[in-house]
Amino acid sequence: MRSVDVLIIGSGPAGLAAAIYTGRAMRSTVVCERDYMSTGQIVESDCIDNYPGLPNIEGYELGEKFKAHAQAYGTEFIEDEVIKIEKSANGSFVIKFKSDNLLSVKAIIYAAGASHRKLGIDGEFALRGAGVSYCAVCDGAFFKDKTTVVIGGGDTALGDALLLSKICKQVFVIYRGEKLRAAKSLQNKANDTVNIDIIYNAIPTSFNGDKHLSSISLKNTKTGKTAELNAEGAFIAIGSNPNSQILKGLVELDKSGYVVADETGKTSVSGIFVAGDVRTKALRQVVTAVSDGANAAISAENYINQIIK
């Protein structure tokens, strides 16, 4: 069986920052990613305006920079899915991949991020890719001069609405509450944009259309009144769930499934470290993900030095 020092699961900002640090520490490093072409979900961000030193950078560009930086330190990338992690008596881990390949590693940095939350309503699955989307950056251009809706009230929802307002004729934000949770700066921009309308106290109950989305059924959360809104595109931006299923029963997770760890990235299992959005933390941003990656890599390096002694 092939052996490497560190396996990093996930190739978003956290995983790639960790790879830069393990690479610089001369640790043989493999980054494994299931989707997203080895730069993580960051490719979906149209504009990242709060990463120090690189204002207004596109998510794709920043992701590519992170990847190139990790590659410069010898990181190997594989596209596969980890299906089993087993700790051996000597402290190392045996990793089984979907491809049936096996890998022996001294330490694991788990940086698998989080996945789009689903509404679970009629038409969501059937019309996915036919008007229903989870990524405005990826699919917004298909809706030039059309009417679209964005569901959610966080930074993603308002960021998506602002992006779509430049492409679409009209954008409705459908928000279930009364007080948006998005940053005030985004709220102000959305309020100042003539073709964005925010519908408060509303939830979608179905996406309708034959081969393509044509309308959305809405319900007022206060009055119970229903209505139908014509729209060709719907962007669901209601947050994410942690991609931690593979760790269930192996390391401690909180009740929402996030891996319990402080900023050192040390989990309840020595030798397994966590970084990025999948960790219990207050702020999930690119800048905190890369900090996590650095911390987890240093913790992994210290761990490997200890077990080698």
Residues taking part in catalysis: 135, 138-139
Q: How far is residue 87's CA from residue 85's CA, in Å, rounded to a whole number?
A: 7
Contact between 284 and ligand NAP by CB under 6 A: the answer reads yes
Site string for ligand NAP, 206-245 (x = CB under 6 A): -------------------------------xxx------
Closest CA to 84 of 7, 5, 4: 7
Contact between 185 and ligand NAP by CB under 6 A: the answer reads no
If DSSP codes are grouped into helix, strand and coil, which group holds residue 128? strand
Which stretch of DSSP H or E encloses residue 229? strand 226-230
Per CB under 6 A, the segment of 20-28, 87-95, 148-156, 293-301 that binds ligand NAP is: 148-156
β pairing state of 147-151 and 233-236: parallel
Q: How far is residue 303's CA from residue 295's CA, in Å, rounded to a whole number?
A: 12
Q: Whole-number minimum distance, CB 298 to ligand NAP, in Å?
A: 25
Longest dimension (CA), the chain: 68
DSSP string, 143-212: GTTSEEEEE-SSHHHHHHHHHHHTTSSEEEEE-SSSS--S-HHHHHHHHT-TTEEEE-SEEEEEEE-SSS
Complex with ligand NAP: residue 11 or 288, whichever CB lies closer = 288
Contact between 91 and ligand NAP by CB under 6 A: the answer reads no
Q: Whole-number minimum distance, CB 302 to ligand NAP, in Å?
A: 29
Complex with ligand NAP: residue 91 or 154, whichever CB lies closer = 154
Which parts of 102-141 interact with ligand NAP (CB under 6 A)? 117, 119
**Footprint on this chain of ligand NAP (rule: CB under 6 A):** 48, 50, 117, 119, 151-157, 159, 176-177, 181, 203, 237-239, 284-285
